[in-house]
Amino acid sequence: MERKLALDDATLLSIEQPARYIGGEVNAVMKDKNNIAIRFAMCFPDIYEIGMSHLGIQILYHMFNRREDTWCERVYSPWTDLHSIMRDRHIPLFALESQDPVKDFDFLGITLQYEMCYTNILQILDLSGIPMMAEDRKDYSFPIVIGGGPCTYNPEPIASFFDIFYIGEGETAYDALLDLYKECRDFGVPRAEFLRRAAKIPGMYVPSLYRVTYKDDMTIEDFSPIGDDIPRVIKKELVKDLTNAVYPEKPVVPFIKATQDRVVLEIQRGCIRGCRFCQAGMLYRPVREKNVEELKKTAVKMLESTGHEEISLSSLSSSDYSQLEELVTYLVEVCSEKKINISLPSLRIDAFSLDVMSKVQDVKKSSLTFAPEAGSQRMRNVINKGLTKDDILAGSKLAFEGGWNKVKLYFMLGLPTETEEDIKDIAHLSEEIAELYYDTVPKEKRQGKVQITASSSFFIPKPFTPFQWAVMGTHSEFAEKASVVKAEFDSMLNRKSLRYIHHETDLSELEGIFARGDRRLDKVLLTAYKKGCLFDSWSECFDYEKWVAAFEECGISGDFYTTRERSADEIFPWDFIDIGVTKNFLRREWENAMAGKVTKNCRAGCSGCGAASFGVGVCHER
């Protein structure tokens, strides 16, 4: 039987990329809804091409659909063209598989990958016909709206819109939640009582069951559960055995080209490095590796089930995976036989990685990537980035000898304690690499100029990092810093071999506000959405003026969240979450940063961050 689409031909033929909205892809899961107890709509609040590239959704989609009583379907943000049509004609937002309205589902799960998608969450609720405020959803006639993903480690700015946040890795606690839901709904237990019971499942945060009070200076006075039976602290969920955890051997394959149009093989979770600006590095501790033999099998199965012509490895720091050489050697062999491309993540540049790269890439076209993050060694010590200038120069030299002549460098501006000398060193380091090329490669062997591209983003302090206490720069300070760096690049001898680009300043400022924001920001989001803010992470849609107006209208100053000094004993909106890494450790690391003291990575020596309490991973190796 042919599926009936939610949108008619006339609509589909008058919008960009109609294939975003029709479902029916390879490995999409169809079920008979008459035999289903729980309908779960899994949403990535951005366009299809971005959302379909996300590994987490594919994992959960596969996990939910293993349950016989549950049908999990996908939902993405309609692009602005369809958004207007749906609003004008009152077409309700639908899920891709069944094309049924999202409003009729039992759950709407929304993954929160970056702060700048927050207005898109409101769009999803709005177009679905679901009240935006959780308090207005009083019975089971509306789905339970649940959030997951990295932004749930400070869910407070969007707390009013969600019934539940799932704190931690999604593989562990959903079965308990779905079983509870089914029982409550079928036995007529009211929605509010279901949420109360759900709040007792490990990892579940039900924001309506917590009360926040503020001091005169606007900082938090108290953050407490309403009722003794509701947990005061919520510990993140963590997969203990990553090798045997659920993984999508048959991921959905989009028709249109997604950002990630390839098999993605997760090799480990977490990172041993402990860079002080990096949120993921703290959130996903401790590092857990997957067994290499299992990975080999999974890779082959996924390639066979999708027909993808490319595979890439996923982790925060692939070079730290202890079996990398064995895995990559195997993949190179299998893939060359099957004519499959391997896209390597940013590996540490050494003899091994260059050898592999030369086998799988066209050296003349590919580039080397380094992420020194800061220009001077002093600054790199502050941020605890282990990479030294010698590492970069030695890696570059090897690569130049191997025929490469393109180098990409990533930096941040606005880091704590940063001086003008530190940021000018971005240009000096780039210049040194260029000089090294001309010293290393004799004239007759050069393929034109060396091309060095340095790009900088602006540092945004994030919760659960040692820099959560840091003052963030204003957008005019950012712009000033970027122009200093630019001028320094222009004064370099080899400036024609160098290129410098930087991120947008306005967007970074807003991201900074929401990253460390609190519950009072919900009205700013509602106001901004009503003013038309949507797809804020898309430069063609982002409208800074509307945001400024929204803050003004709500009488809220963004500076409170960004440029304010935070004291050591301030209660943060996210302090009720326990990620394993303790606040004491983070504070110690903040002080080490101020003293320019480097901390060892997890394998070189344990620093007692607290993640060992999970009883698994690198903390318990050997």
Partner 1 sequence: MSDRVKVRLRFEKYGAMKFIGHLDVMRYFQKLIRRAGLDVAYSEGFHPHQILSFANPLGVGISSKGEYADLVMESVTSSKDMVDALNRENVEGFFVTDIVRLPENAPNGMASVDRADYELTLSEEKYPDVSWLEDACKALSQKEEVLIEKRTKKGMKTVDIKEGILELRCEGRVIFMKLRAGSALNIRPEQVLLAVFAQAGAELYPFSYDTLRLEQYDCDGKSLLSAGEVF
**Helix boundaries (H) for 461-543:** 475-490, 505-515, 522-530
Indicate which single residue of 32, 228, 307, 622 sits in contact with partner 1 (rule: CB under 8 A). Answer: 307
Nearest CB to partner 1, comparing residues 301 and 428 = 301
Sequence letter at residue 254 = P
Binding mask 235-274 for partner 1 (x = CB under 8 A): ------------------x-xxx-----------------
Q: Tokens 């999508």 identify what position?
A: 248
Indicate which single residue of 136, 228, 362, 444 sits in contact with partner 1 (rule: CB under 8 A). Answer: 362
Residues paired with 26 in a beta bridge: 253
Distance CA 436, CA 394 (A): 10
Query: Smallest distance, Å, CB 307 to partner 1?
Result: 3
* 435 is a contact residue toward partner 1 (CB under 8 A): no
Q: What CA–CA distances, in Å, run from 157 to 207, 227, 428, 465, 523? A: 11, 23, 40, 18, 9
* 367 is a contact residue toward partner 1 (CB under 8 A): no
The residues in 321-340 that bind partner 1, with binding defined as CB under 8 A, are 338-339
Nearest CB to partner 1, comparing residues 78 and 463 = 78
State both tokens at 440: 């290393």
Nearest CB to partner 1, comparing residues 26 and 226 = 26
204 and 198 Cβ atoms separated by less than 8 Å: yes
Which segment (3-11, 441-449, 558-566, 596-604) binds partner 1 by CB under 8 A?
3-11
Q: Could you list the beta-strand ranges (E) of 315-468.
A: 341-343, 368-373, 406-413, 451-458
Residues paired with 253 in a beta bridge: 26
Indicate which single residue of 74, 269, 308, 475 sits in contact with partner 1 (rule: CB under 8 A). Answer: 308
Which segment (359-367, 444-452, 517-525, 587-595) binds partner 1 by CB under 8 A?
359-367
Given the DSSP bridges, would you call strands 220-225 and 268-269 parallel, antiparallel or unpaired? Answer: unpaired
* 555 is a contact residue toward partner 1 (CB under 8 A): no
328 and 356 Cβ atoms separated by less than 8 Å: yes
- Determine the 3-state secondary structure of 371 from DSSP: strand
Query: Smallest distance, Å, CB 256 to partner 1?
Result: 5
Query: Smallest distance, Å, CB 253 to partner 1?
Result: 6
Indicate which single residue of 219, 323, 341, 440 sits in contact with partner 1 (rule: CB under 8 A). Answer: 341
Indicate which single residue of 18, 129, 202, 345 sits in contact with partner 1 (rule: CB under 8 A). Answer: 18
Distance CA 428, CA 425 (A): 5
How many angstroms from the chain centroid is the CA of residue 453? 24
Query: Smallest distance, Å, CB 265 to partner 1?
Result: 17
Indicate which single residue of 23, 150, 155, 157 sits in contact with partner 1 (rule: CB under 8 A). Answer: 23
* 188 is a contact residue toward partner 1 (CB under 8 A): no
* 25 is a contact residue toward partner 1 (CB under 8 A): yes
The residues in 285-304 that bind partner 1, with binding defined as CB under 8 A, are 303-304
Indicate which single residue of 80, 306, 377, 527 sits in contact with partner 1 (rule: CB under 8 A). Answer: 306
* 88 is a contact residue toward partner 1 (CB under 8 A): no
112 and 149 Cβ atoms separated by less than 8 Å: yes
Nearest CB to partner 1, comparing residues 263 and 433 = 263
Given the DSSP bridges, would you call strands 368-373 and 288-289 parallel, antiparallel or unpaired? Answer: unpaired
* Binding-site size, partner 1 (CB under 8 A): 32
**Secondary structure (H, E, C), 58-100:** HHHHHHHHHCCCEEEEEEECCCHHHHHHHHHHCCCCECCCCCC
Tell me the residue length of the chain: 622
- Determine the 3-state secondary structure of 181 from DSSP: helix
* 92 is a contact residue toward partner 1 (CB under 8 A): no
**Helix boundaries (H) for 441-580:** 475-490, 505-515, 522-530, 544-554, 559-562
* 202 is a contact residue toward partner 1 (CB under 8 A): no
Indicate which single residue of 291, 305, 322, 582 sits in contact with partner 1 (rule: CB under 8 A). Answer: 305
Indicate which single residue of 9, 32, 136, 216 sits in contact with partner 1 (rule: CB under 8 A). Answer: 9
Which segment (10-18, 31-39, 44-52, 180-188) binds partner 1 by CB under 8 A?
10-18
Nearest CB to partner 1, comparing residues 404 and 542 = 404
Nearest CB to partner 1, comparing residues 14 and 584 = 14
Sequence letter at residue 183 = E
Q: CA nearest 62: which of 239, 247, 214, 240?
A: 247
Distance CA 460, CA 457 (A): 9
The residues in 376-395 that bind partner 1, with binding defined as CB under 8 A, are none
Neighbours of 523 (CB within 10 A): 15
* 309 is a contact residue toward partner 1 (CB under 8 A): yes
Nearest CB to partner 1, comparing residues 310 and 391 = 310
DSSP code at position 135: G
DSSP-assigned states of every residue in 315-334: -S-GGG-TTHHHHHHHHHHH
* 207 is a contact residue toward partner 1 (CB under 8 A): no
Query: Smallest distance, Å, CB 68 to partner 1?
Result: 23
Distance CA 404, CA 407 (A): 8
Q: Which residues bind partner 1 (CB under 8 A)?
A: 2-3, 5, 9-10, 12-14, 18-19, 22-26, 253, 255-257, 303-309, 338-339, 341, 360-362
